[in-house]
Structure 1
Amino acid sequence: MDLLSSFPEHLQDEILTRLDLRDTVRTSALSRAWRRRWETLPGLAVSFPDGTPPSVVDRVLLRYAGPSVSRFKTHVDDDDDDAAYASHVDEWLIALSRRSVESITIYNDYGRNFTVHSSIFSCDRLLSGCPSACSGAAFHRSLSLELSLTDVKFADNGESQFEAMIRASPMLGVLVLEEIYTNDMDRVIEALNLHTLRHTFTPKILEAPNLQYAYQLHGAPAGFVEFLAGVFQVRELIFYVKPCDLKVDAIPFTFSNLKSMELFTDFAEMNNILLMFSLLRTSPNLEKLKIELQRPKMVDNRKFLNAQWTNGMCANLQLVEIISYNGWLPLYFIELILSKASFLRTLSVDMDACPVSQDNQLNELL
């Protein structure tokens, strides 16, 4: 006897929200009428914890007949069969694309290879992705979208499709590209409303006139100056500089808007020091400088460092932060900053260990 259907609808809804999803889809747990009511709810936000079998997700997602699934989140468990789970994920994405999904999160912490079905780019309400370029549908929403790609290998011609997808996404505001594997680095990224770029995969040409924050990780590419030309308007710039990767004597443009710069660099390499001074010379409005040292030594030439300084350099610099993980400080550089940056307010030094054999460094700094 179906007693649940005799309750008022608002009480049925209250009961439903308190039931575990595994119970709601179990045939013996609820009557057919109750199951039909659950399957036709106007919207569904569902989260599956680590270890949920794919069959349970199927019974919830594929059975649900409502008009929308607002949020979908699941965690792939380490004990599940790779091939079986991959096929389920493909089916879930197709089902979600038909239900006006707004947010999809699939955690995959164990290096499984999933192919993202093209239907994902047909989700016209998706807040964390972009429409497919081949769909031709404009993405008109007053939102700043975020697209994050991590540990991705492009299929054949995938780079060109990726370019087209970005170009066809006028509301894309944040683009994160980490551990992107490609054999074709001569890419052109066009994103008119992009304001934040965080990447290890660096395009050859970047056309993003509204870019404000650029974070480049794990080294500088060939054609680094060309890349800098695409981000010259940013307010904040963060990047790693590998030893001997670059030889930049001068940068032929000015970072007029740059207020904050963070470098992960090697003071033992002449090329890195030249690049750092080139950046400082072309950033007249820089207010905050943070440097994380990679190796505990420095080119020991005070005359050389003084020769790199020009009039107006660091004229607006107010905060300098030096981080050393080896108990060593670039005293010549710090002395230069202290003597030249007339508006400096704060000098912050962070060391993981006090130097034992060079404890006079701390005394000299004080």
Structure 2
Amino acid sequence: MPQLRSRDTAAAPILECLPPAMQEEILSRLPIRDAARTSVLSRVWRRRWEPVPYRFLDWPPGTPTGTVDRVIARCAHPVHQFRHPYVRELDFGRFSLWLLRLAALGVRSVSAEFQYSNIYRLHPCIFSCSHLATLDLLGCKIQAPPPTFVGFPSLTTLSLSKVGFAQGARGLEALIFSSPSLRTLQLDTMSIPTVEVDGEEEEVFEQWVINAPNLRRLQITQNYYYGWHFSALPFLEVADVSGLFFGFYPADRDFLMLISALDQPTKLKLSMPFTSSDALEGLSPSFENLKSLSLRTQLCFPSGIVNILRVVKNAPKLEELDIEFMDYEDKLAEANINSLYAHCADDLFSNLTNVRIKGAICERNEMLLIEFLLSKAAQLEALDVSLSICCSRSAKDVLAEAAQYGRASPGADVTIKRYQYIP
């Protein structure tokens, strides 16, 4: 530690000898938190960092509000990024002032988390930030845009968590539509109100559309479906809607519409409907690019296996299959393995090399699916099964049963292990 202090003391005079313009250039290239740390170098450097025109304002937790005020007020050049990890309720008004200044400075990236959820009404000047490329917000309410708002032509990344809209779902729909360059969209636990039906408020959501023709990555983390559908997504590469509990999905036709619009990704994560019906009957698109598929489902009905097969047989390039079994909510209705063969072609699983199953309790339907995979996947290299804490069978017992199944790939490595809690 004494050596570190000695080095700092020796460095300070050297830095002070540099021309002021060079000092500013050095400081402006540092993250704001590192620039602020130069205040410990010497008395001369204590406030040297404050008037520098920073392009990346990434505030560390606990930064005094006054410091943010002074730096933003002195900014004379465009700001590329503003990030505040935690805006207290006491500072909501200050944030509005910061945002006004940032809009004038042509900010390109705004990321902020607000104390409490959906209380702070984001200042409408956010719509004046016409150069935004990234907007990342947690815990606020977005007001209606002014009539002069023409969109965010440069916005490529939109990440919203616990965010509400004064216009309801239509406000979110309009925000996405006004961002034609959008490449990444993340929606997490959005605050979307229900609508009234026959004068009474019910758990029904207004139907709206995610219209983002250039979208590459999509992630929706929401327990319940809240009325959204997709327009064409021709460039979508990665889609994750596995957070939805499709056991509560309003209708099979809605799920069919959803999955039919997600036929382009190479990587797809889904929650499957927990119903006794064949929810994917009539599924027509071919998931010709799909190489990695992750599913959350339960197999209390034979239709659970059939629905999995309907997706897989439309994915000829599928290489990796991950399945997470949810807890059963209904009495088990056993499937028949002969009926499963009627739903597949001879080349099903032709490119499948890795299967991972999580949360298995090894009831009959789950074991039938394992048997079916082993008997059909000729290129299979590994099948890993992680048993649920609710599974009454031992890993050794399950492995012994799986060893009796016929295998299309003799070299496939089958692993059965108990659930392990990782804190």
State the TM-score, normalizing by the size of structure 1.
0.79
Q: Return the alpha-carbon distance in structure 1 between the equivalents of residues 293 and 179 of structure 2.
A: 29
Match for 1:309 among 344, 348, 356? Answer: 344
CA deviation string 1:148-180 (max 9, x = no partner): 11112221x243333233223222111111112
> Is 1:239 matched up with 2:270?
yes
> Within 5 Å, which residues of 2 pair with 1:272-311?
272-295=304-327, 299-311=334-346
Q: Which residue of 1 aligns with 2:197?
A: none
Amino acid across the alignment from 2:83: K
Q: Which residue of 2 aligns with 1:124?
A: 130
Amino acid across the alignment from 1:306: Y
Residue 258 of structure 1 deviates from its aligned partner by: 1.8
Structure 2 SS opposite 1:334: helix
- Give yes or no for contact 1:248–1:278 (8 Å, CA) kept in 2: no
**What is the identity percentage for the equivalent residue pairs of Structure 1 and Structure 2?**
25
- Residues 5, 260 of structure 1: alpha-carbon distance in 2 compared, 3 angstrom cutoff: closer
- Give yes or no for contact 2:58–2:84 (8 Å, CA) kept in 1: yes
Q: Which residue of 2 aligns with 1:172?
A: 182
Q: Which residue of 2 aligns with 1:365?
A: 402
Match for 1:218 among 219, 241, 244? Answer: 244
Q: Which residue of 2 aligns with 1:58?
A: 69
Amino acid across the alignment from 1:152: V
Amino acid across the alignment from 2:240: Y
CA deviation string 1:69-92 (max 9, x = no partner): 222222326xx5x2x322222222
Structure 1 SS opposite 2:240: strand
- Give yes or no for contact 2:301–2:335 (8 Å, CA) kept in 1: no
Q: Which residue of 1 aligns with 2:164?
A: 153
Q: Which residue of 1 aligns with 2:419?
A: none
- Residues 196, 202 of structure 1: alpha-carbon distance in 2 compared, 3 angstrom cutoff: farther
Structure 2 SS opposite 1:336: helix
Q: Which residue of 1 aligns with 2:114?
A: 108
- Residues 93, 308 of structure 1: alpha-carbon distance in 2 compared, 3 angstrom cutoff: same
> Is 1:95 matched up with 2:97?
no
Amino acid across the alignment from 2:219: R
> Is 1:332 matched up with 2:368?
yes
- Residues 6, 322 of structure 1: alpha-carbon distance in 2 compared, 3 angstrom cutoff: closer
Residue 202 of structure 1 deviates from its aligned partner by: 6.0
Q: Which residue of 2 aligns with 1:163?
A: 173
Amino acid across the alignment from 2:230: I
- Residues 23, 158 of structure 1: alpha-carbon distance in 2 compared, 3 angstrom cutoff: farther
Q: Return the alpha-carbon distance in structure 2 between the equivalents of residues 303 and 126 of structure 1.
A: 56
Q: Which residue of 1 aligns with 2:150?
A: 136
Q: Which residue of 2 aligns with 1:46?
A: 57
CA deviation string 1:253-275 (max 9, x = no partner): 32222222110110123443332
- Residues 23, 319 of structure 1: alpha-carbon distance in 2 compared, 3 angstrom cutoff: closer
Q: Which residue of 1 aligns with 2:421?
A: none
CA deviation string 1:223-281 (max 9, x = no partner): 11111221122222101235339641521332222222110110123443332122123
Root-mean-square deviation (Å): 3.6
Amino acid across the alignment from 1:120: I
Q: Which residue of 2 aligns with 1:20?
A: 36
- Give yes or no for contact 1:240–1:264 (8 Å, CA) kept in 2: yes
> Is 1:264 matched up with 2:296?
yes
Amino acid across the alignment from 1:171: S
CA deviation string 1:2-26 (max 9, x = no partner): xx999732464358977638979xx
Q: Return the alpha-carbon distance in structure 1 between the equivalents of residues 355 and 162 of structure 2.
A: 34
> Within 5 Å, which residues of 2 pair with 1:244-255?
244=275, 247-250=278-281, 251-255=283-287
Q: Which residue of 1 aligns with 2:386?
A: 350
The number of residue pairs the alignment matches comes to 346
Q: Return the alpha-carbon distance in structure 2 between the equivalents of residues 361 and 245 of structure 1.
A: 26
Unaligned runs of 5+ in 2: 1-14, 137-144, 195-204, 404-423
Residue 327 of structure 1 deviates from its aligned partner by: 7.0
Q: Return the alpha-carbon distance in structure 1 between the equivalents of residues 216 and 378 of structure 2.
A: 32
Q: Which residue of 1 aligns with 2:219?
A: 198
- Residues 277, 48 of structure 1: alpha-carbon distance in 2 compared, 3 angstrom cutoff: same
- Give yes or no for contact 2:279–2:307 (8 Å, CA) kept in 1: yes
Residue 109 of structure 1 deviates from its aligned partner by: 6.2
Q: Which residue of 1 aligns with 2:413?
A: none
Q: Return the alpha-carbon distance in structure 1 between the equivalents of residues 355 and 333 of structure 2.
A: 18
- Residues 44, 343 of structure 1: alpha-carbon distance in 2 compared, 3 angstrom cutoff: closer
Q: Return the alpha-carbon distance in structure 2 between the equivalents of residues 56 and 255 of structure 1.
A: 52
Match for 2:207 among 186, 202, 212? Answer: 186
- Residues 219, 113 of structure 1: alpha-carbon distance in 2 compared, 3 angstrom cutoff: same
